[in-house]
Amino acid sequence: MKEKYGFLTKIQLLSLYYKSRGYSYRRIAEIIGTSHQNIAVAYRRALKNIELSEKTILYYKLSTAKFIALINKGTHLAEIPKLIIEECDKRGIKLRADFTLIFKQIRFYTPQCVSGSRLAGEIIVVVDEHGFIQVYSYREVKDIIKDIEKTLGKQIISIKHGY
């Protein structure tokens, strides 16, 4: 049986490692003792496995969230942390973030949705069962949200702000 490293095989892990350091497929093949074609295939499959794993984790986070807030474009950035903190208080969720962290995560994780001090695009703020938050561009996750809602037969977005 092949050795597994999460969802990666040994050759996939090695190909990712060496490619990230600038090695060619041929050089990696020499090091590992296989053909460069095998390395190319392993590398592509590794990237596909990683993409699928990330998507799976996103499905998990969105489907198990304590609440999800959809924030409309045009909303002032300073309003968002207040909204999230108040909603957590209402629901009895111990939030593991403060005003500054929420504000910074919006700017860091969704810079394409921020223009000056306002949102230029819709975002979602996800609060998990431990009180941690994640911020996503709504455009990037809306298909996943629709899939989950279709499967569950109900909406998973708890709050729609600015609509």
Q: In angstroms, rounded to a whole number, what is the distance separating the alpha carbons of residues 163 and 159? A: 10
Torsion of CA 131, 135, 141, 142, to 10 degrees: 90
Is the same domain home to 51 and 70?
no
Residue 60 included in any domain:
no
pLDDT digit string, tens, across residues 124-134: 999 999 999 99
**Overall domain count for the chain:** 2
Is the same domain home to 71 and 50?
no
pLDDT digit string, tens, across residues 19-41: 999 999 999 999 999 999 999 99
**Cα 14 versus chain centre, distance:** 25
User: What's the predicted TM-score (pTM) here?
Assistant: 0.87
Structure tokens at 90: 């209402």
Residue 142 included in any domain:
yes
Which of 61, 60, 70 shows the shortest CA–CA distance to 113? 70
Enclosing domain of residue 40: 4-55
